[in-house]
Each structure stands twice: as structure tokens, then as C-alpha cells.
Structure 1
Amino acid sequence: MDVSNWIVTIGGLLFIGLIAWFFWRPKKGGSLAAKGNSGYQETTIQVKNGYHPARVIVQSGKPVRFEFTREETAACSEMVIFPDFQKSATLPVGKKVIIELPPMQTGTYDFTCQMGMYRGTIIAKGDKK
């Protein structure tokens, strides 16, 4: 292999690594779920080039209600899946979809699109005493 082949190969590997990092890198921060009058912790999630917010912080031991609004037509955003709760929902464009989850133990719970490209995390935290 000559030098130009090595450069192309290394460049391609770096590009693949960049793509993998973009989709699967750890996310920081998060949005705190609001406590609603219904007893649920509530958060609105916009679906457009991913989930916004992609990290939601909730209090453990209390039920959670998500309101998803899909604002794009990409095939990857057609569905949201909560594997730890055996729940999923189809997300029609421009419609609000409510998903209710039971109280959670302290920990992290993932949600994704059906292709696994859009990813979100629920962080259930215990009471601070």
C-alpha cells in the first residue's frame, strides 16, 4: 500500500469514529420533570433530530408522564420505545402523544427510536435528606 491509500484508510476510520461518537457519546445535563397536579411528574419532549430534552431527571417512587411531539418526518422518529417498561408508542407528525410510566426505582432508564439512533435517558433520583 502506498501513502495515499494509508491516508484514505486512516481518514475513513477517523470519520467512522466521529460518527459513532456523535450518536453514542454520553450526554450531560438534563431537564428536571415538573410535578403536576395529577400526581405525575411531567415533561414535554420534542422529537426533531433527536429527543429534546434527551435526559430527564425524575424523583424515584413517583409516576411519570411524557408528552411527545414529533416535528419531523424522518423514519427514525416514528416510534419511541421504553425497553425497561415494555412500552412503546407510535408518534404521528404534529400530534401530541402521552406516555405514562410507573414509579421507578433509583437508577437510569433508556428510551430510543426503533432504530436506536435517537436516544434518551431517564434518571430517577431518590429524595435528598
Structure 2
Amino acid sequence: MVEKEQNIDITVAGGYQPNVVTVKQGIPAKLTFTRTNAQGCLDIVHSKALGFEKELPLNEAQTVTIPTDKAGEFEFSCGMDMFSGKVVIEK
């Protein structure tokens, strides 16, 4: 059976849980962030390496599609770069 899509849920509350996620190379992947804490700088998540920036309204799931064409480790962080997480794309 061929996987068509990878979906990862990340809770945003004083950081990211989980803060390291692993996906497979070449299979489309979506990260869904849900902010459950009103801490200010966590209202934005961004990643230059993965090419996204997303506002995170409180208690509203926000999904980003990430490229999976290259294997490696790619960071994402809050608007002030105080909290971070990592996406590991495995071959």
C-alpha cells in the first residue's frame, strides 16, 4: 500500500509538542498546529528552510504543507525564534 499523505498534529503550548517530527521523503506532508496557550510569541510559526509562515489563532488548527523532496533536518520556530522544533525528513 502506497502512502498518499502524512499528517502530523502539533500542539503549541509553551513550546511545541512534539518538538521533533519525522516524515518520509517524497510523500506529501502536512503539519497541523493548534495553539492552546495565549503566550505571545507562539502566535506565529515559521520556517525559512521549509518555506512557510503561519499565524496561529488561539484554539484554531492551522495546517501547512511542507516539501518532502529533500531528506534532512529542518527547523521551525515561533515569531521571536525563542521556541523551536524540527522536522526530520527520512529517505
TM-score between both structures, scaled by the size of structure 2: 0.91
Structure 1 residue aligned with 2:45, among 77, 80, 83?
A: 80
Q: Does 1:48 align with 2:13?
A: yes
1:49-95 C-alpha deviation (Å, 9 max, x unpaired): 10000000111112210111000111111100011132100000010
Question: Secondary structure of the equivalent of 1:77?
Answer: helix
Match of 1:69 in 2: 34
Which is richer in strand? 2
The secondary structure found in structure 2 opposite 1:85 is: coil
CA distance in 2, matches of 1:85, 1:98: 13
Instruction: For CA contacts below 8 A with separation 6 or more, give which structure has more relative contact order.
Output: 2
- From the CA coordinates, give the structure whose radius of gyration is larger: 1
- Greater helix content: 1
Q: Corresponding residue for 1:16?
A: none
1:109 match: secondary structure: strand
Query: Residue type of the partner of 2:5?
Result: Y
Shift >6 Å, 4+ stretches: none
Give the % identical residues: 27
The number of residues matched between the two structures is 90
- Where do 5+ consecutive residues of structure 1 fail to align? 1-37
Gaps of 5+ in 2: none
